[in-house]
């Protein structure tokens, strides 16, 4: 009988590791598919758990589903996860959507763990819109977004 190693992975660990990996892959400019899948997985977990205590994601909230519909919000994520009989199937989507998922996941995770509901409403993603960050490169994106976290209580170095 061989001993097989196992690990215990909590939901918190799953969120953190998937989001950390998505961010790292984004910074080193890897392919968008895995980045999007990891960010979507993390945000879905956060939304499912946070929605039960009034701290759901902004992008995956019930209100956004009502306005835009599930197909539009989860279309690319579902394309990445589910098989198709068409081996040549393709999906066109804006790269900004992946960056929006990452930002929303970071903010949802941060708000759920560190702030009460009134405080969370003061901070991102409501502090910056996707339209404002859309034209930014990665460096400019960080210069725009990181100060928002510093204002929310993260130490500046």
**pLDDT digits 0-9 by tens, 117-148:** 554 454 444 455 656 666 666 667 666 666 66
Q: How many CB atoms lie within 10 A of CB 37?
A: 19
**DSSP label at 125?**
T
SS3 74: helix
**Structure-token pair, residue 36:** 């999007």
Residue 132 is assigned to a structural domain of this protein: yes
Which range marks the domain in which residue 77 is found? 11-151
Residue 6 is assigned to a structural domain of this protein: no
pTM for the full predicted model: 0.67
Residue 67 is assigned to a structural domain of this protein: yes
Rounded CA gap, 10 and 126, in Å?
28
Domain count for the chain? 1
Residue 24 is assigned to a structural domain of this protein: yes
Of 116, 54, 100, the closest CA to residue 62 belongs to 54
Query: Of 31-45, 56-70, 110-124, 140-154, which range is least confident?
Result: 110-124
């Amino acid at each position: 009988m061989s001993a097989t190693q196992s690990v215990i992975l909590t939901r918190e660990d799953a969120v953190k590791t998937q989001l950390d990996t998505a961010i790292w892959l984004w910074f080193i400019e890897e392919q968008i598919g895995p980045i999007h899948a990891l960010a979507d997985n993390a945000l879905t977990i956060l939304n499912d758990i946070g929605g039960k205590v009034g701290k759901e994601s902004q992008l995956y909230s019930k209100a956004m589903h009502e306005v835009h519909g599930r197909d539009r919000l989860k279309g690319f994520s579902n394309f990445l996860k589910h098989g198709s009989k068409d081996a040549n199937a393709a999906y066109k989507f804006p790269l900004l959507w992946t960056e929006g998922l990452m930002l929303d996941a970071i903010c949802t995770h941060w708000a759920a763990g560190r702030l009460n509901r009134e405080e969370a409403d003061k901070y991102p993603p409501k502090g910056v819109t996707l339209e404002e960050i859309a034209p930014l490169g990665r460096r400019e994106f960080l210069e725009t977004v990181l100060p928002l976290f510093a204002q929310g209580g993260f130490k500046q170095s």
